[in-house]
């Protein structure tokens, strides 16, 4: 997932729903009072849910999400926005979808940015020569070819940056901020360059936004404030950020060289990948099940967001193979350009705004596909109560819990416009160990956890698509 959206989600969306019905893990009885016939209707899906779970966990689909995902990420590797490799990966998924008999398979164009990393390096020159492992940040400018060589100053916070502003001109600023949480700490990556440039810094090196490191740099998106000088920005490892901080604290002068060939090239066309099971009775009404197909240009993008995209896609593939067709249409969307600013999802909203009233429910997985706990939801109280009841059918995979709000950058636009939505809630405490680093590979993904995620997405999307009532949108 990209980072800015998450911050926004966490800051804003808590207001949307609060904990009115809340997290059922507390074992409280929430004051839901759905009509008896609706409760009975939802309960009647229990045999179908069992069938879906059995097929996914024990049947012919056992292990298939992992198999499909590993074939995909091993074949294409990372799928960075703007690359031909991403387009080839999209073609592959379109073909796979057609071959599997999914319907209305097509790509929908979106114009996406084309930032390229190029060769890059950072080297400590004083007090001793040592290579500094680094990853340039998305949208960063590059340096001149001989690089930027300058004294460096290490700060632990924006406050310290401000306090020491008179030391900044002409310097490289190294941020060694503590990791509090991703949403709270990612501002150093997003805004660190402009904040330092305001005081005359010539480049920034930012401690990677992660709670744990084995000398692993993590990349991600940054942005420049308007009317502030644009300076190159890269992330370094936790280990090197703390090393540089210790050396500076001893009063020794740090001199660093940074070379980056990063460039922002002209935008190119990419595509959101779409495939459906067309609804039996109300085909114009839609449940969206989604993840993003693009990834950062390091690692394999297996976790972010290969796993999410594949539980969504494989959920539809599995329902289709069982000839399970709900009343409404199930639409899997594999978004493009998420990592460089949710580009594909924004384009999709722009083009499909008129269909808002037809959107029954939107789902996404972009916070890892570790063992599922349940769903994270944003929407009205009534839909929350319905979803809570639906989740009570997921006992066989121990994923009955509901929390709020949802965490999904690509469905956020729809949810902000009132469409009820949910994201996979999973045991992702180590997600940021690997996020946006070379460690994001198939080694992180577990076949059984992926099966559970696929089963959950298949069962929930089917029921939401098949319910006798249209779900109300929230204000």
Catalytic residues: 338
Which span sits near a second copy by CB under 8 A: 109-117, 194-202, 209-217, 452-460? 209-217
> Does the footprint of a second copy cover residue 194 (CB under 8 A)?
no
Site string for a second copy, 21-60 (x = CB under 8 A): ----------------------------------------
Q: Please identify which residue in 437, 457, 462, 466 interacts with a second copy, judged by CB under 8 A.
A: 437
Nearer to a second copy, 54 or 133 (CB): 133
Closest to a second copy by CB, 45 vs 76, is 76
Q: What is the distance between the alpha carbons of residues 434 and 443, in angstroms, rounded to a whole number?
A: 10
Stretch that binds a second copy, among 172-180, 192-200, 237-245, 410-418 (CB under 8 A): 237-245
DSSP 32-74: ----HHHHHHHHTTHHHHHHHHHHHHTSTTTTHHHHHHHHHHH
Count of residues in the chain = 475
Give the nearer residue to a second copy in terms of CB position, either 195 or 305: 305
Cβ 319 to a second copy shortest distance, Å: 27
Does residue 247 bind a second copy (CB under 8 A)?
yes
Q: Pick the binder of a second copy from 83, 97, 190, 216 (CB under 8 A).
A: 216
Cβ proximity to a second copy, 247 vs 277, nearer residue = 247
Q: Quote the CA–CA distance of 241 and 218 in Å, as a whole number.
A: 13
Answer yes or no whether residue 71 interacts with a second copy by CB under 8 A.
Answer: yes
| Interface map 130-149 toward a second copy (x if CB under 8 A) | x--x----------------
Count interface residues toward a second copy (CB under 8 A): 31
By beta-carbon proximity to a second copy, the closer residue of 133 and 371 is 133
Q: Choose which of 192, 439, 453, 465 interacts with a second copy (CB under 8 A).
A: 439
Enter the tokens of residue 368: 């890892």
Name the pairing type of β-strands 120-126 and 130-132.
antiparallel
Q: Please state, in angstroms and rounded to a whole number, the distance separating the CA atoms of residues 219 and 208.
A: 7
User: Tokens 């009570």 label which residue?
Assistant: 392
374, β-bridge pairs: 401, 425
Is residue 174 close enough to count as binding a second copy by CB under 8 A?
no
- The H or E element containing residue 159 is helix 158-163
* Region binding a second copy by CB under 8 A among candidate stretches 144-152, 196-204, 213-221, 336-344: 213-221
Residue among 461, 457, 430 nearest 446 (CA): 430
Q: Would you count residue 307 as binding a second copy (CB under 8 A)?
A: no
CB-based contact 329:277 (threshold 8 Å): yes
Phi-psi label, residue 33: left if phi above 0, alpha if psi -120 to 50, beta otherwise: beta
Nearer to a second copy, 206 or 238 (CB): 238
427 cis-preceded (ω within 30 degrees of 0): no
CA pair distance 200, 177, nearest whole angstrom:
20
Between 147 and 439, name the residue whose CB sits nearer to a second copy. 439
Say which residues have a Cβ less than 8 Å from residue 439's Cβ, sequence separation at least 6.
Answer: 216, 299, 433
Q: Which two tokens stand for residue 244?
A: 């540089």
Residue from the set 250, 251, 266, 354 that interacts with a second copy by CB under 8 A: 250
Tell me: does residue 431 bind a second copy (CB under 8 A).
Answer: no
Binding a second copy (rule: CB under 8 A), the pick from 12, 214, 417, 469 is 214
| Alpha carbon distance 256, 133 (integer Å) | 12
Helix (H) / strand (E) element for 430: namely none
Q: Toward a second copy, which CB reaches closer, 3 or 441?
A: 441
Q: How far is the CB of 144 from a second copy (least distance, A)?
A: 25
Using the rule CB under 8 A, which residue among 18, 127, 169, 357 binds a second copy? Answer: 127
Question: Minimal CA–CA distance to 288: which of 106, 454, 185, 419?
Answer: 419
Q: For a second copy, which residue of 70, 177, 272, 329 counts as binding (CB under 8 A)?
A: 70
- Of the residues 13, 243, 343, 363, which one makes contact with a second copy according to CB under 8 A: 243
Q: Which of 74, 225, 351, 470 binds a second copy (CB under 8 A)?
A: 74
Q: How far is CA 226 from CA 56, 169, 194, 197, in A?
A: 50, 19, 9, 12
Angle at 416 between CA 411 and CA 421, to 5 degrees: 45
Q: For residue 239, state whether it binds a second copy (rule: CB under 8 A).
A: yes
Cα-trace Rg, the chain: 23
Report the alpha-carbon angle 85-90-96, nearest 5. 125
89 lies in the binding site for a second copy (CB under 8 A): no
Binding site for a second copy (CB under 8 A): 70-71, 74-77, 127-128, 130, 133, 213-216, 238-239, 242-243, 246-247, 250, 299-300, 433-434, 437-439, 441-443
């Amino acid at each position: 997932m990209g980072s800015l959206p998450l911050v926004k989600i966490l800051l804003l969306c808590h207001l949307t729903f609060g904990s009115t019905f809340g997290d059922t893990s507390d074992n409280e009885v929430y004051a839901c009072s759905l009509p008896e016939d609706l409760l009975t209707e939802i309960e009647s899906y229990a045999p179908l849910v069992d069938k879906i779970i059995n097929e996914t966990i024990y049947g012919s689909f056992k292990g298939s999400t992992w198999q499909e995902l590993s074939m995909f990420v091993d074949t294409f590797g990372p799928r960075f926005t703007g690359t031909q490799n991403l387009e080839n990966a999209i073609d592959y998924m379109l073909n796979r979808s057609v071959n599997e008999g999914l319907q209305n398979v097509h790509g929908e164009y979106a114009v996406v940015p084309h930032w390229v990393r190029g060769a890059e390096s950072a080297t400590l020159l004083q007090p001793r020569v040592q290579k500094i492992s680094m990853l340039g940040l998305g949208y960063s400018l590059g340096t001149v070819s001989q690089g930027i060589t300058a004294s460096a100053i290490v700060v632990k916070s924006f406050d310290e940056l401000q306090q020491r502003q008179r030391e900044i001109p002409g310097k490289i600023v190294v941020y060694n901020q503590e990791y509090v949480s991703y949403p709270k700490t990612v501002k150093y990556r997003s805004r660190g360059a402009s904040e330092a440039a305001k005081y005359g810094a010539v480049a920034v090196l930012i401690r990677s936004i992660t709670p744990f490191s084995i000398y692993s740099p993590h990349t991600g998106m940054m942005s420049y404030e308007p009317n502030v000088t644009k300076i190159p920005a890269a992330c370094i490892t936790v280990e090197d950020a703390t090393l540089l901080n210790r050396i500076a604290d001893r009063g020794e002068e740090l001199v660093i060289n940074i070379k980056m060939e990063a460039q922002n090239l002209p935008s190119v066309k990419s595509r959101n990948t779409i495939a459906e099971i067309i609804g039996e009775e109300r085909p114009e009404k839609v449940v969206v099940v989604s993840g993003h197909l693009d990834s950062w240009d390091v690692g394999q993008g297996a976790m972010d967001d290969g796993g999410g995209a594949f539980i969504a896609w494989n959920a539809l593939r599995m329902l289709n193979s069982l000839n399970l067709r709900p009343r409404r249409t199930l639409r899997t969307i594999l978004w493009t350009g998420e990592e460089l600013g949710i580009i594909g999802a924004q384009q999709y909203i722009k083009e499909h705004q008129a269909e808002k009233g037809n959107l029954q429910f939107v789902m996404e997985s972009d916070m890892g596909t570790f063992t599922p706990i349940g769903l994270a939801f944003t929407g009205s109280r009534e839909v929350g109560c319905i979803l809570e009841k639906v989740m009570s059918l997921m006992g066989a995979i121990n994923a009955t819990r509901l929390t709020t709000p949802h965490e999904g950058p690509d469905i956020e636009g729809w949810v902000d416009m009132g469409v009820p939505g949910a994201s996979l809630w999973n045991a992702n405490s180590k997600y940021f160990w690997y996020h946006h680093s070379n460690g994001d590979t198939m080694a992180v993904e577990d076949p059984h956890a992926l099966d559970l995620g696929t089963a959950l997405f298949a069962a929930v999307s089917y029921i939401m698509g098949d319910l006798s009532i249209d779900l109300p949108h929230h204000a």
